[in-house]
């Protein structure tokens, strides 16, 4: 049908028409809120590069988790900033470390919210890499045991789901097997299966104090140029037992989300990362853009591309906007 028989504007003419024919709908059920947990009490230390976000001590994490739950957000994902770093990331899997304590506290005080944990070593290693370093090389296979130990310690502390973000080969299988052997076969694994080596993580590394002290992450995180490789990475993690497949970052990788949704028969999550959040907030501080509108539009586009779940620093604000 062509103009004048077809007039696209007819069904855009009223708010109700637009409501009725809207193809993609965001819901607060889609959101997962990332939070940064730090040792101590009454600490709420602003993260300069991420306006509105803080390094939070346990008492404040509990408050935020409550706020998120009350806004309709079903889940949080926890990142820990440990009291000490070393070459074996011991504070990543110690039962009395920051994430483990925080899980217990949130479980007790906000029992309804789902707690996901980021499983990685970079924030706990003195060199800031996501695996064990031997002679300047990241040793894949030697790192698997520590990653599995970390996931297990989170499950023991009460985590509802674990999310490995390290990009070592074989870690999903290793984690799945360890959880199964230790009676945690009911705990799902959300794999950061397709994680690109991205400049959009800059603000996060300040927040989590996890900047690599030498080199970069290009030997384990993916080259932004590659799409076929994303499918291979995702298939590998499905075979190893992942329950949810994540793409990260989100906005420069909407094509990847779209392709994975077609290829992979599992829920797809997308991580709307720190840099994506920060540039919008910076634009707002300059008075150039309306960050709230930008955020809603970007979240919608991530969902339209095929994401079932979105990890976003704007989860609470976006949920409140949707509840209006």
Active-site positions read 195, 248
Residue 120 within binding range of ligand PBG, rule CB under 6 A: yes
Residue 122 within binding range of ligand PBG, rule CB under 6 A: yes
Stretch that binds ligand PBG, among 52-60, 170-178, 198-206, 239-247 (CB under 6 A): 198-206
Q: Minimal CA–CA distance to 57: which of 46, 42, 76?
A: 42
The residue (of 118 and 160) whose beta carbon lies closer to ligand PBG is 118
Q: Minimal CA–CA distance to 204: which of 30, 81, 39?
A: 81
Residue 314 within binding range of ligand PBG, rule CB under 6 A: no
Residue 184 within binding range of ligand PBG, rule CB under 6 A: no
| CA trace torsion 307, 149, 47, 245 (10° rounding) | -10
Give how far Cα 259 sits from Cα of 194, 256, 266, 268, Å. 12, 5, 13, 11
CA–CA distance, 241 with 169 (Å, rounded to integer): 13
The residue (of 169 and 182) whose beta carbon lies closer to ligand PBG is 169
Cα 323 from chain centre: 23
Residue 117 within binding range of ligand PBG, rule CB under 6 A: no
Site string for ligand PBG, 256-295 (x = CB under 6 A): -----------------xx---------------------
**Strand partners for 76:** 33, 115
Name which of residues 146 to 165 contact ligand PBG (CB under 6 A): 165
DSSP label at 8?
G
Point out which residues bind ligand PBG (CB under 6 A). 118, 120, 122, 130, 165-166, 201, 204-205, 217, 273-274
């Amino acid at each position: 049908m062509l103009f004048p028989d077809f007039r696209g504007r007819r069904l855009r003419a009223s708010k109700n028409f637009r409501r009725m024919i809207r193809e993609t709908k965001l819901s607060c059920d889609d959101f997962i809120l990332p939070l940064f947990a730090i040792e101590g009490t009454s600490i709420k230390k602003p993260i300069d590069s991420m306006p509105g976000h803080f390094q939070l001590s346990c008492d404040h994490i509990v408050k935020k988790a409550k706020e998120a739950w009350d806004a309709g957000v079903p889940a949080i994902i926890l990142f820990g900033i440990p009291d000490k770093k070393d070459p074996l990331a011991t504070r990543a899997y110690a039962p009395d470390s920051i994430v483990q304590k925080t899980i217990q506290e949130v479980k007790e005080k906000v029992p309804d919210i789902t707690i996901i944990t980021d499983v990685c070593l970079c924030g706990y290693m003195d060199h800031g890499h996501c695996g064990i370093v031997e002679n300047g090389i990241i040793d894949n296979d030697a790192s698997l045991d520590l990653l599995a130990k970390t996931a297990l310690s989170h499950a023991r502390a009460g985590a509802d789901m674990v999310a490995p973000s390290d990009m070592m080969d074989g870690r999903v299988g290793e984690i799945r097997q360890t959880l199964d052997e230790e009676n945690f076969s009911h705990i799902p694994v959300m794999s950061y299966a397709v994680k690109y080596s991205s400049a959009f993580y800059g603000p996060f590394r300040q927040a989590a104090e996890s900047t690599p002290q030498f080199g970069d992450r290009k030997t384990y995180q993916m080259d932004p140029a590659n799409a076929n490789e994303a499918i291979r990475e995702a298939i590998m993690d499905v075979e190893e037992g992942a329950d949810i497949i994540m793409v990260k970052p989100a906005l420069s990788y909407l094509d990847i989300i779209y392709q994975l949704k077609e290829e992979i028969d599992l829920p797809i999550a997308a991580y709307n990362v720190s840099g994506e959040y920060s540039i919008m907030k910076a634009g707002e501080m300059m008075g150039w853009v309306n960050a709230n509108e930008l955020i809603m539009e970007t979240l919608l586009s991530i969902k339209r591309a095929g994401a079932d779940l979105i990890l976003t620093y704007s989860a609470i604000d976006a949920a409140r906007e949707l509840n209006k």
